[in-house]
Structure 1
């Protein structure tokens, strides 16, 4: 098998418990009451896109929809606003997942930036259509922050898969 250029070593299979724990932790990070700053990144969106790219059979559009409903209930938003945005985000990530892994982390961040912009624009359009307040153009800073956090998220979420299954002094892998 030809290895993609962005990866330098073989990875172990992802642990389903780690995937679930990382998604739950990202959900909790989104629920922390820090106020609504316009450029605050959506940690759940970053984590969903990451696992949709790296494990599309385990984390798909259905999980994105469920987490979107949880965010809608938590924020008191229109039921389905975040669910629609996260579902579109997950669909785009699954559609790009084979191509995206061939690039370096910086190039991957540039490729997922339009997905994050689309998700935020869809959420804003839905909010405005039902009579909500316009959040302002400053809220489009969040997709940039999410794209800048992509390499850090990739390093953190792939770290458990990089360890050797049973380390040995005589084996380089």
Structure 2
């Protein structure tokens, strides 16, 4: 494996917060419940749990899940449980995932993203909601397909310049 590995700059905590807020706002947009619409909060939380598990943990995931529950007017805690399980799974595999290419990473995070879709799906069915159809679970596949794009966008501010300069120490 002779891939190019970049030395990344330390991540700015404000950038992490901004990316989480942008993901939350994207989830708030009135697109309705379209089939294949990704859960941007789940994707961004998963990304930061894999790349910065000490800065974004299960507490932030739980809090964002509660905010999503309030927004969706769903059973209080279903997104919180899903995001917390997603966060736990991401923290468990974060060292292994980073060794793979973006496609390999997408395949590794696919079960976690599907789990994050199955948990609210199951809770809604257990509480007597109508069956939404199996198309509801396609969202996890779309999120896994967006993983390379999210990785490139969220890692871009941390990458060092490719041009060497005498004024930079490294």
- TM-score by structure 2 length? 0.93
CA RMSD across the alignment: 2.0
- Partner residue of 2:128? 131
Matched, 1:106 2:103: yes
Task: State how far apart, in whole Å, the 2-side matches of 1:64 and 1:5 are.
Answer: 35
Task: State how far apart, in whole Å, the 2-side matches of 1:20 and 1:40 are.
Answer: 23
Change in Cα spacing, 1:8 to 1:126, as seen in structure 2 (3 Å) is same
Change in Cα spacing, 1:5 to 1:41, as seen in structure 2 (3 Å) is farther
- Partner residue of 2:80? 83
- Partner residue of 1:45? 42
- TM-score by structure 1 length? 0.92
Kindly report structure 1 stretches of 4+ aligned residues shifted beyond 6 Å.
none
Task: State how far apart, in whole Å, the 2-side matches of 1:15 and 1:172 are.
Answer: 20
Task: State how far apart, in whole Å, the 1-side matches of 2:68 and 2:2 are.
Answer: 36
Q: Which of 51, 56, 72 is matched with 2:53 structurally?
A: 56
- What is the total number of aligned residue pairs between the two structures? 169
Q: What is the CA deviation profile of residues 49-94 of structure 1, one whole-angstrom value per residue up to 9, with x for unaligned ones?
A: 0000000000001100000000000010000010000000000000
Q: What is the CA deviation profile of residues 126-152 of structure 1, one whole-angstrom value per residue up to 9, with x for unaligned ones?
A: 111111121110111111100000000
User: Which segments of 5 or more consecutive residues in structure 2 lack a partner in the other structure?
Assistant: none
Task: State how far apart, in whole Å, the 2-side matches of 1:157 and 1:93 are.
Answer: 16
User: Which segments of 5 or more consecutive residues in structure 1 lack a partner in the other structure?
Assistant: none
